[in-house]
Amino acid sequence: MKMSNYDNTNRGQVWVNDKKDSERHPDLKGSINVDGKEFWLSAWKKKPDANPKAPVLSFSIQAKDEQSAPKPQAAAPAAISNDDEDLPW
């Protein structure tokens, strides 16, 4: 059976993050498809000392096509010159 014939819409998977270097990095990484759009998926496990009512996993998703897109930057403030020689009048 070819994998291309399988519909992965609204499905995802995660694996152990073998590149976790700090507590802030996700415990699990993977991808998920939501309504035909691909997303990166990051997940953090509940800490052993966490509130028992805390979720077992918390997730973060980022659109795959947004990862490489440049983030919009605020416009730089215009330079103010006190030099009267720059004025055309």
Average pLDDT rounded to a whole number, residues 24-42:
96
pTM: 0.63
Average pLDDT rounded to a whole number, residues 18-44:
95
d(CA 33, CA 6): 13
Q: For residue 64, give the DSSP letter.
A: H
What was the pLDDT predicted at 81?
46
Q: In what order do the strands lie in the sheet with 37-45?
A: 12-16, 28-34, 37-45, 57-63
- Decide which of 86 and 34 is more confident: 34
What was the pLDDT predicted at 46?
93
Residues 6+ apart with CB under 8 A from 45: 27, 28, 56, 57
pLDDT per position as a tens digit, 54-83: 999 999 999 998 755 555 455 545 444 455
Q: For residue 87, give the DSSP letter.
A: -
